[in-house]
């Protein structure tokens, strides 16, 4: 069996599909199989797939459109590789992607999955931006308490893990975030610093079309994660929890009042206190993470004199971690 199975669902992806397939065939790493699952496409996707004569490419076709989650779960059963790499039919994997990710999982047996950094491209394939996520397991575990820190189509996961942890149909449009939270409770997770992927952003992206549904289900995931700290957030507390990740929603800076700033400080203090009681996260890591988010908030509101919050710690171990987080955010 191959080392890596690439799982690629396909639905009316004819415009970009050849580029996606070709990016896999051009990988420097050769021990792979590409699992293409056509979810009832009505365009020329099937003809494009069938035009390839490569015995490493396997084609399955749903009799009707089943939707992404059922298609992904079906595809998992078709994968025979030690690792399963995700890939969408409108994105591009750079040449070294599979080699670098497979090597990481080979040499880090305690890690269950890894993602990568990515460039953002438009419909024409032009670079329009970049996506940078945290790399270290401890910070990623904390990040999951607030927001998904992985680019879904960049991840590579051990097949035995994904077989036991399927995508949950109750979390349509945020099925990846919910899955990462489950996997993270079972072992270590990582993002690689390398930019190994080109992520295509256009008006038909799921996150563009289903923003309201996503927000509601993300709130549920966040509330469930807060449960591990024995916290049931009230309405204002949930706002305080999310605000530093939504300061520039839709490109517009969100205004945060002085009283709301005080509420956020109190909320972060509560998270630190509850973590001290439950031991869910490394204490220094959590303080540094929340302090970095607080600095982002203060800078956005031009409250520079408030950047040392009541919950801050000047322990050298915290301060070193804080500096690393600030450097990451500066380069993000």
Q: What is the pLDDT of residue 211?
A: 76
Q: What is the pLDDT of residue 330?
A: 86
Residue 202 CB neighbours (<10 A): 12
Token representation of residue 177 = 């975030």
Residues 91, 230: Cα–Cα separation, whole Å:
40
pLDDT band at 234 (very low <50, low <70, confident <90, very high): confident
In degrees to the nearest 10, what's the CA dihedral of 12, 16, 19, 24? -40
Q: How would you class 65 by CB atoms within 10 Å of its CB: exposed for 0-12, middle for 13-18, buried for 19 or more?
A: middle
Please tell me whether residue 300 adopts helix, strand or coil conformation.
helix
Token representation of residue 316 = 């050298």
Mean pLDDT of the chain: 95
Residues 208-215: what's their mean pLDDT? 74
Tell me: pLDDT of 205 over 60: no
Could you report the per-residue pLDDT of 61-109, keeping only the tens digit for each? Answer: 999 999 999 999 999 999 999 999 999 999 999 999 999 999 999 999 9
pLDDT band at 207 (very low <50, low <70, confident <90, very high): low
Q: What is the pLDDT of residue 265?
A: 97
Q: What is the pLDDT of residue 4?
A: 98
Q: What is the pLDDT of residue 282?
A: 97
Could you report the per-residue pLDDT of 280-323, keeping only the tens digit for each? Answer: 999 999 999 999 999 999 999 999 999 999 999 989 999 999 99
pTM for the full predicted model: 0.94
CB 308 within 8 A of CB 161: no
Tell me: pLDDT of 250 over 60: no
Nearest Cα to Cα of residue 88 among 179, 16, 32, 177: 16
Nearest Cα to Cα of residue 289 among 271, 304, 301: 271
CB 95 within 8 A of CB 24: no
Q: What is the pLDDT of residue 249?
A: 63
Could you report the per-residue pLDDT of 121-151, keeping only the tens digit for each? Answer: 999 999 999 999 999 999 999 999 999 999 9
Residue 24 CB neighbours (<10 A): 24
pLDDT band at 235 (very low <50, low <70, confident <90, very high): confident
Q: How would you class 29 by CB atoms within 10 Å of its CB: exposed for 0-12, middle for 13-18, buried for 19 or more?
A: middle
CA atoms within 13 A on the CB side of 43: 11
CB 105 within 8 A of CB 156: yes
Q: What is the pLDDT of residue 317?
A: 96
Token representation of residue 61 = 């076709």
Residues 165-169: what's their mean pLDDT? 97
- Taking each continuous run of H as one helix and of E as one strand, the counts in the chain are 13, 9
Residues 164, 253: Cα–Cα separation, whole Å:
41
Tell me: pLDDT of 251 over 60: no
Q: What is the pLDDT of residue 206?
A: 57
Q: What is the pLDDT of residue 318?
A: 97
Could you report the per-residue pLDDT of 261-287, keeping only the tens digit for each? Answer: 999 999 999 999 999 999 999 999 999
DSSP-assigned letter for residue 254:
P
Token representation of residue 155 = 């991840």
Could you report the per-residue pLDDT of 7-29, keeping only the tens digit for each? Answer: 999 999 999 999 999 999 999 99
Tell me: pLDDT of 210 over 70: no
Q: Torsions phi, psi of 85, nearest 5?
A: -100, 130
Q: How would you class 303 by CB atoms within 10 Å of its CB: exposed for 0-12, middle for 13-18, buried for 19 or more?
A: middle
Tell me: pLDDT of 238 over 80: yes
Token representation of residue 271 = 């998270």
Residues 285, 68: Cα–Cα separation, whole Å:
35
Tell me: pLDDT of 224 over 60: yes
Which secondary structure element, helix H or strand E, spans residue 236, and what is its range?
A: helix 235-242
* Percent of the chain predicted with pLDDT > 70: 96
Residues 86, 118: Cα–Cα separation, whole Å:
14
Q: What is the pLDDT of residue 248?
A: 76
CB 104 within 8 A of CB 111: yes
Residues 109, 89: Cα–Cα separation, whole Å:
29
């Amino acid at each position: 069996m191959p080392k890596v199975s690439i799982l690629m669902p396909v639905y009316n992806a004819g415009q970009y599909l050849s580029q996606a397939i070709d990016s896999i065939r051009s990988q420097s790493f050769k021990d792979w199989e590409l699992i293409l699952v056509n979810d009832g496409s009505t365009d020329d996707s099937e003809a494009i797939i069938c035009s390839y004569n490569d015995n490493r490419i396997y084609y399955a076709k749903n009799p009707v459109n089943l939707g992404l989650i059922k298609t992904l779960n079906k595809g998992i059963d078709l994968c025979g590789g030690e690792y399963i790499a995700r890939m969408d039919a409108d994105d591009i994997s750079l040449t070294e992607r599979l080699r670098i990710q497979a090597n990481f999982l080979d040499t880090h047996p305690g890690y269950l999955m890894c993602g990568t950094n990515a460039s953002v491209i438009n419909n024409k394939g032009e670079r329009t931006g970049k996506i940078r996520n945290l790399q270290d397991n401890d910070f990623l575990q904390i990040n999951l308490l607030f927001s998904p820190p992985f680019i879904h189509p960049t991840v590579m996961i051990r097949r035995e893990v994904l077989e036991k942890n399927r995508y949950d149909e109750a979390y349509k449009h945020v099925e990846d975030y919910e899955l990462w939270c489950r996997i993270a409770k079972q072992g270590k997770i990582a993002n690689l610093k390398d930019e190994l992927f080109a992520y295509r952003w256009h008006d038909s992206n799921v996150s563009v079309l289903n923003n309201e549904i996503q927000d509601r289900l993300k709130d549920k995931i966040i509330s469930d994660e807060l449960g591990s700290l024995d916290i049931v957030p009230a309405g204002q507390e949930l706002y305080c929890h999310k605000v530093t990740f939504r300061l520039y929603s839709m490109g517009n800076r969100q205004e945060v009042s002085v009283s709301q700033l005080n509420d956020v400080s109190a909320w972060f203090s509560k998270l630190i206190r509850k973590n001290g009681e439950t031991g869910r996260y490394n204490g220094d890591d959590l303080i540094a993470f929340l302090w970095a988010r607080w600095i982002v908030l203060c800078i956005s509101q031009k409250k520079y004199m408030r950047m040392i919050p009541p919950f801050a710690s000047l322990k050298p171990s915290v301060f070193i971690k804080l500096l690393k987080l600030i450097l990451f955010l500066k380069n993000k």
